Structure 1
Amino acid sequence: MNPPVDLAFSARIAAVAERLVEVPGVVAVALGGSRARGTNRPDSDWDLGLYYRGEPDVAALARLAEEFTGVPVEVAGPGGWGPWVNGGAWLVDGFAVDWILRDLDRVERVWSDCRGGRYEVATQPGHPLGFWSPVYPGEVALGRVLADPQGELTELQRAVRHYPEPLRAALTAASWEAEFSVVGARKAVGSGDALYVSLCLSRALGVLTQSLHAHHRRWLLNEKGALASAAALPAAPPDFAARVSAVLSGLDAGAVELAAGLVADVRAVLR
């Protein structure tokens, strides 16, 4: 009897990970995303974090990608996909597979900042609410190490599974920005500036999801799924997801006041 397709492909992914750490510069490979957490759908991507030091051999990665898929694959080197999602490749071989480059030295520096309660939010394609630097240690914490010859990523993973109290305090305190953004939306809604109002309200609600996750010492890696994840947290206000949806469906004065109520409820929990 043939093994289930996902299991067979999982074994292939593990074999590829062992090949990837033979590429100069690549020191470890981890499975991330829903596949690592066991929340995947049958059609979910396979996200592989390629942790490197120095400069990875992009040409060697491209050769391995072509061997894996049977067709030429463009591999974006460090910085090719923006300042935080360093680079990588999209591969298709029965399933969609993403190779995502991660500079391990930088990940460790970000982790050091997080332990001191410091973080950054930067513009990054694919992250409409900005890339929040705690994503780096969060990926390590929630990922599944597939290949790590020197044990470097495994050691870091043991450390980052303990959510730093200074980071929790900093991200819950960041909820002030949600209130500030709602004030901006309230000032603009009368002029009919739908773009500005929508950006203010989206930002406010996105910040609330970050603060709620931090309050519970949970890593938040992406805007995708953030609302459902936040709504499931014990401290989330009643009907949090429905209220957020109502705000974003309205973008009028009533929606702004709904958002103000949400902000007040969340900030009351966080105090």
Structure 2
Amino acid sequence: MNPSVAAMAERLTALPSIRAVALGGSRARGTERPDSDWDLGLYYRGAPDVSALSALAAEFADEPVEVAGPGGWGPWVDGGAWLRVDGVAVDWILRDLDRVERVWSQCREGRYEVGIQPGHPLGFWSPAYPGEVALGRVLADPKGELTALKAETAVYPEPLRTSLCEASWEAEFSVAAARKSAGSGDALHVSLCLSRAIGILTQSLHADHRTWCLNEKGALAAAARLPRTPPDFMARATAALTGAGPEAVDVADALVKDVRAVLDGGRA
């Protein structure tokens, strides 16, 4: 553990409204590179004191930093700051703990949302909130609130699994829409439809394996490694995503059928 990051986490939870700090991303999962960022989730209740956060950032950061308050980075990622501490990138990401708990309650009932969010071209899938807690590493949690939630999210909800697997119908729909535009050379519409279809398949495959999918980055390769994923999933998905003509649509169509067959078998 980076000593500056550990000290920062303790200082953050002493600020008003910051209830806990968790390490996320590749460093939490043990898959980091030497140059990987330190991603810190700042879990708050109420309204975080942005001025206090800015003052603390100024103490640690190598250069001036702007802290974005709730909503400053969009409706789902919320806000935060990008710091460099002793030459190392440290990202603060604000998370409303009340909202995270509400989303977790919805997920246990099989309900989820997909919202528009900058930086998330396939949308922000709300199960990412509890997924971040499940896969993260709690660094500071004076009242044990995040630690308790992490214990709950260790078990993937079966109703959510069912809902996300059933969402694969939209992948078939998107491929059908792409087919209508492929003949006319409408590359934008075709590529968006195929990207949407592959993204949904990726979400469904993760859910089928009871594995949290947090965002698009690395999700395709991770899905390809799952035991029940169809053979050559990565290569076939890549072929569909790098084309915008009828051949790419045919590849995507066949892939959708194969994935849905796996999903149907897994839920039988």
Contact 2:191 2:243 in 1 (8 A): no
Give per-residue Cα distances to partners, 1:241-264, cap 9 Å, x unaligned.
111111112211011000000000
**One-letter amino acid matched to 1:77:** G
How far the C-alpha of 1:72 sits from its partner, in A, is: 2.1
Contact 1:62 1:72 in 2 (8 A): no
TM-score after normalising by structure 2:
0.97
Partner residue of 1:73 out of 46, 53, 65: 65
**Number of the residue aligned with 1:158:** 151
| Residues in 2 aligned to 1:48 and 1:241: alpha-carbon distance in whole angstroms | 30
Secondary structure of 1:31's aligned partner: strand
Instruction: Could you list the structure 1 runs, at least 4 aligned residues long, displaced by more than 4 angstroms after superposition.
Output: none
Are 1:143 and 2:136 counterparts?
A: yes
Secondary structure of 1:247's aligned partner: helix
Q: Structure 1: state its 5+ residue gaps.
A: 1-6
**Number of the residue aligned with 2:186:** 193
Give per-residue Cα distances to partners, 1:145-186, cap 9 Å, x unaligned.
000000000000000110000000000000000000000000
Partner residue of 1:131 out of 114, 124, 128: 124
Partner residue of 1:265 out of 252, 255, 258: 258
Q: Percent identity?
A: 73
Paired positions, count: 263
Q: Structure 2: state its 5+ residue gaps.
A: none
**Number of the residue aligned with 2:40:** 48
**Number of the residue aligned with 2:215:** 222
**Number of the residue aligned with 1:4:** none
| Residues in 1 aligned to 2:237 and 2:189: alpha-carbon distance in whole angstroms | 17
**Number of the residue aligned with 1:3:** none
| Residues in 2 aligned to 1:195 and 1:71: alpha-carbon distance in whole angstroms | 40
- Tell which deviates more after alignment, 241-250 or 18-27: 241-250
**Number of the residue aligned with 2:227:** 234
CA RMSD of aligned residues (A): 0.7
**Number of the residue aligned with 1:176:** 169
Partner residue of 2:11 out of 6, 19, 36: 19
Give per-residue Cα distances to partners, 1:176-220, cap 9 Å, x unaligned.
000000000001101111000000000000000000000000000
TM-score after normalising by structure 1:
0.96
Contact 1:178 1:205 in 2 (8 A): yes
Give per-residue Cα distances to partners, 1:105-142, cap 9 Å, x unaligned.
00000000000000000000000000000000000000
| Residues in 2 aligned to 1:244 and 1:181: alpha-carbon distance in whole angstroms | 14
Secondary structure of 2:16's aligned partner: coil
| Residues in 2 aligned to 1:126 and 1:118: alpha-carbon distance in whole angstroms | 23
**One-letter amino acid matched to 2:44:** Y
Contact 1:30 1:144 in 2 (8 A): yes
Secondary structure of 2:27's aligned partner: helix
Give per-residue Cα distances to partners, 1:63-107, cap 9 Å, x unaligned.
110100143210000000000000000001211110000000000
**Number of the residue aligned with 1:111:** 104
| Residues in 1 aligned to 2:91 and 2:28: alpha-carbon distance in whole angstroms | 13
Secondary structure of 1:250's aligned partner: coil
| Residues in 2 aligned to 1:34 and 1:108: alpha-carbon distance in whole angstroms | 23
Contact 2:71 2:79 in 1 (8 A): yes
Change (3 A) 1:22 1:244: same
Partner residue of 1:63 out of 50, 55, 59: 55
